[in-house]
Amino acid sequence: MKHRFVSLNGKNAKSFSKWIDRFPDTKILVIGDWILDEFVWGTVERISPEAPVPVVSVTRESFVPGGALNVANNIRTLGGTVFPCGLVGRDLRGRMLVKVMRKEGIDTGGAIYDHGRPTTLKTRVVAHSQQVVRFDREDRRDLSREHLKKALTFIERILENVDAVVIEDYGKGMITPELLTHLLREAKSLKKPVLVDPKEKHFSYYRGVTAITPNRREALSAYGQNADGHVPHLNEVGQKLLRQFSCEAVLITLGEEGMILFEKNGAITRIPTAAQEVYDVSGAGDTVIAVFAMAVAARAPMKEAAVLANCAAGVVVGKLGTATLTREELKAALPALSNLRRKRSLTRV
Q: Would 349 be classed as within a structural domain?
A: no
Q: Would 194 be classed as within a structural domain?
A: yes
Q: Would 348 be classed as within a structural domain?
A: no
pLDDT value at 317 more than 80: yes
- Which of 3-12, 32-41, 94-103, 295-304 is least confident? 3-12
Residues with catalytic function = 286
Q: Would 344 be classed as within a structural domain?
A: no
What are 89-108's pLDDT values in tens digits? Answer: 999 999 999 998 998 889 99
- Which of 79-93, 232-246, 325-339 is least confident? 325-339
pLDDT value at 349 more than 50: no
Write down the pLDDT at residue 89: 96
Arithmetic mean of pLDDT, 190-214: 95
Q: Would 35 be classed as within a structural domain?
A: yes
What are 143-155's pLDDT values in tens digits? Answer: 999 999 999 999 9
pLDDT over 70 percentage in the chain: 87
Q: Would 248 be classed as within a structural domain?
A: yes
Task: List the CATH number of the domain containing 216.
Answer: 3.40.1190.20
pLDDT value at 344 more than 70: no
Domain count across the chain: 1
pLDDT value at 11 more than 60: no
CA-nearest of 193, 168, 185, 199 to 30 is 168
What are 170-200's pLDDT values in tens digits? Answer: 999 999 999 999 999 999 999 999 999 999 8
Write down the pLDDT at residue 76: 96
261: containing domain: 4-339
| 275 or 102, greater pLDDT | 102
- Which of 76-80, 94-98, 157-161, 252-256 is least confident? 252-256
Write down the pLDDT at residue 280: 53
Sorting pLDDT into bands at 50, 70 and 90, what band is 117?
very high
What are 18-52's pLDDT values in tens digits? Answer: 999 999 999 999 999 999 999 999 999 999 999 99
Q: Would 117 be classed as within a structural domain?
A: yes
Q: Would 52 be classed as within a structural domain?
A: yes
pLDDT value at 214 more than 50: yes
